[in-house]
Amino acid sequence: MTAWKNVTAIYQVYPRSFMDSDGDGVGDLAGITSKLDYLAGLGVGAVWLSPVYASPQADCGYDISDYRQIDPMFGTMRDMELLIERAHELGLKVMMDFVPNHTSDQHEWFQAARSSRDNPYRDYYVWRDPRDGAEPTNWVSLAGGKAWEYDEASGQYYLHSFMAAQPDLNWDNPRVRDEMHNILRFWLDKGVDGFRVDAEWPISKIYKDDPLNPNYAGDSDEYGSYLHIHCKNGPNMLRYMREMSDVVASYQDRFMVFEYYTEPELGDEIAQYKAIFDLNPRVAGPFVFDMFRMEWHAHDRAARMAKLYACLPQDGRPIHALGNHDQSRVATRLGDSRARALALAQLTLPGIPTIYYGEELGMKDYQMPAGDRHDNFLEGGGMGGRDPERTPMRWNNGANAGFTTGKPWLPIGDDVAALNAHAQLDDSDSFLTLYRDLLHLRAQHDVFRNGVYADVDVQNAYVWAYEVTDGSQRMIVAVNFADQSQVVNMPGKGHMLLSSDPTSVVDRYDGWAMLAPYEAAVFRRID
């Protein structure tokens, strides 16, 4: 199978929404397995599954009650084994989501922990006495509301950085760390090729109040009203992350991606990325969420990317993402042309990009009526209201877009006629064709996966341009951030390999090129 360093892209499947094989309206493992050929055909190299473990589903699976079981909603352990087997036959790697910071409150550890103060599992979680009859610190939860829940029976509070149904594990307890490492080993032994590590930033904290955010204009006690300098990113976070990645490193060719959001309030963001790149570069790296958090500004983009690539250690791999199950979809945020341009940039940058299911179709958020929503996170939290980006995958123009024969757990949304995989397959102008062509190019040329990034100054403030090179091949990418055509001074001469604009007629340049509004193009230097 392809080594991780040659994986073209990771494809994120949100299992509830990908493909339903049994008509209950919720996607499942057998459904995913039936669509692995589609993913192999698309040209991705790995599939990441959001959590499929046993869970009461308070947070759609990010509340795990047993890390060694598959939730019956998604199938059985056998279904998971078959999925891994089929994926490997097709040359696809399989990554699981791993949720270290918290379990479900239904997990047997928490059930035991809350049963009494002296239960041996008590210390698996974070318990504190009340402070002046109230919460031990002023921390707020990313799911909305306070981060502490009072437990009447034992007279103490427990910590939950997310929902009350997701109590934080106590990573300062070495037994917890051992348990979690053994769970990683369990899945690695089953043949899983890697993990996406969920929300590891709160696994270490300093138990002191967070200061108020002087720049926040919203309601008090919303997530943004504090500077989160104590409730997360604590002094042992990097050490615990390093230990997790050491487990992965002890197996042959496995990989770990950390969900990590840099925090401007913690100082230099590039230094924050660098600390994670440096942990264990051969086997682990952070998501780079810049592309969905960025200002739409070519110069800023160029400056930030140059710094990011300059900070990489040997073998360091940025994991660029345009979206995920917590973010408004890129085509909704930016519109089709800009989403296509960013896709071209993302898939020509060295590292391992991730594609959120449906991104390859240009899928958009669907604002459904309140009664159809499922997400239990509150808008006042750091990440509320995420159903619009989780609607079912559109396979065809049939009933429920081919996703289910039952009633889909979230509505399908509109525009299905044009926006489905079947309709886009043979359409040369479609998003799907662009993604397939980009992934094909990425597979063909190692320089896009493992090359060196360098800034290119094209003397136009609206254009972000860069070169990726491996010494023998030099590829130039130019992205026009303006809604008007731009003339761009290009280095030497080049052949166009691909444009994000299906109407583009340019096929080469000699010293300069004209880019259409929001066009991104990749060229091979021929001089």
* Among 9, 42, 99, 330, contact with ligand NOJ (rule: CB under 6 A): 99
> Mapping DSSP to helix (H, G, I), strand (E, B) and coil, where does residue 111 land?
helix
| Shortest Å, Cβ 240 to ligand NOJ | 16
Rounded Cα–Cα distance for residues 459 and 465 (Å): 10
Per annotation, catalytic residue among 59, 168, 259, 375: 259
How many residues contact ligand NOJ, by CB under 6 A? 9
Between 233 and 480, name the residue whose CB sits nearer to ligand NOJ.
233
Shortest distance, CB of residue 326 to ligand NOJ, whole angstroms? 5
Please give the structure tokens belonging to residue 464: 């972000």
Enumerate residues 6+ apart whose C-beta is below 8 A from 472.
Answer: none
Q: Quick check: 212 and 182 in contact, CB under 8 A?
A: no
- Catalytic site residue 179? no
Residue with Cβ nearer ligand NOJ (10 or 199): 199
Helix 298-310, helix 269-277: angle, nearest 10:
40
Site string for ligand NOJ, 242-281 (x = CB under 6 A): -----------------x----------------------
Please identify, using beta-carbon distances, which residue of 231 and 476 lies nearer to ligand NOJ: 231
For residue 203, the minimal CB distance to ligand NOJ (Å) is 12
Rounded least distance, CB 16 to ligand NOJ, Å: 12
**Rule CB under 6 A: is residue 509 a binding residue for ligand NOJ?**
no
CA atoms within 13 A on the CB side of 384: 15
Nearer to ligand NOJ, 59 or 222 (CB): 59
259 is an active site residue: yes
Instruction: Read off the amino acid at residue 356.
Output: Y
DSSP secondary structure string for all residues of 387-441 = GGGGPPP---SSGGGGS-SS--SS---S-TTTSSHHHHHT-TTSHHHHHHHHHHH
Q: Output the smallest distance, CB 386 to ligand NOJ, in A.
A: 7
- Residue 107 binds ligand NOJ (CB under 6 A): no
Cβ proximity of 289 and 263 under 8 Å: no
Query: At its nearest, how many Å lie between ligand NOJ and the CB of residue 103?
Result: 10
Q: How many CB atoms lie within 10 A of CB 120?
A: 10
* Comparison of 171 and 309: residue with beta carbon closer to ligand NOJ: 171
| Rg of the chain in Å (alpha carbons) | 23
- Closer CB to ligand NOJ, 321 or 432, in the complex: 321
Residue 180 in contact with ligand NOJ, rule: CB under 6 A: no
Q: Of 198 and 519, which has the nearer Cβ to ligand NOJ?
A: 198
CB 317 within 8 A of CB 352: yes
Instruction: Give the nearer residue to ligand NOJ in terms of CB position, either 28 or 259.
Output: 259
Shortest distance, CB of residue 320 to ligand NOJ, whole angstroms? 17
Q: Which is nearer to ligand NOJ, 365 or 519 (CB)?
A: 365
Among 7, 18, 20, 59, binds ligand NOJ (CB under 6 A): 59
HSE-up of residue 165 (Cα within 13 Å, Cβ side): 15
Strands 10-13 vs 46-49: parallel, antiparallel or unpaired = parallel
Cα 412 from Cα 111, distance rounded (Å): 37
The minimum distance between CB 502 and ligand NOJ, in angstroms, equals 33
Q: Is 113 helix (H, G, I), strand (E, B) or coil?
A: helix
Q: Which residues from 321-350 bind ligand NOJ, rule CB under 6 A? A: 325-326
Residues 148-167 that bind ligand NOJ (CB under 6 A): 162
375 scored as a contact of ligand NOJ (CB under 6 A)? no
- Please, which residues bridge with residue 321 across strands? 354
Q: Which residues contact 100 (CB under 8 A, 6 or more apart)?
A: 169, 171, 180, 197, 198, 199, 200, 203, 240, 244
Least gap, CB of 60 to ligand NOJ (angstroms):
7
Please pick, among 20, 28, 105, 198, the residue that the annotation labels catalytic.
198
Alpha helix positions (H), 251-398? 269-277, 290-293, 298-310, 330-334, 336-346
Is residue 520 within a helix (H) or strand (E), and if so which, with residue range?
strand 520-525
| 62 near ligand NOJ, rule: CB under 6 A | yes
Q: Does 356 bind ligand NOJ (CB under 6 A)?
A: no
Residue 357 binds ligand NOJ (CB under 6 A):
no
Query: Residue from 54, 94, 199, 490 that binds ligand NOJ (CB under 6 A)?
Result: 199
Q: Which residue lies nearest ligand NOJ, judged by its C-beta?
A: 62
Q: Which of 149, 168, 198, 290 binds ligand NOJ (CB under 6 A)?
A: 198
Q: Residue 206 to residues 134, 139, 173, 234, 434: CA-CA distances in angstroms?
A: 18, 11, 15, 6, 47
Q: By C-beta, is 62 or 395 nearer to ligand NOJ?
A: 62
Q: How far is CA 296 from CA 169, 211, 299, 426, in A?
A: 38, 30, 9, 32
User: Tokens 């990771």 sit at which residue?
Assistant: 10
DSSP for residue 203: G
Question: Which one-letter amino acid corresponds to residue 453?
Answer: Y
The residues that are catalytic are: 198, 259
Binding site for ligand NOJ (CB under 6 A): 59, 62, 99, 162, 198-199, 259, 325-326
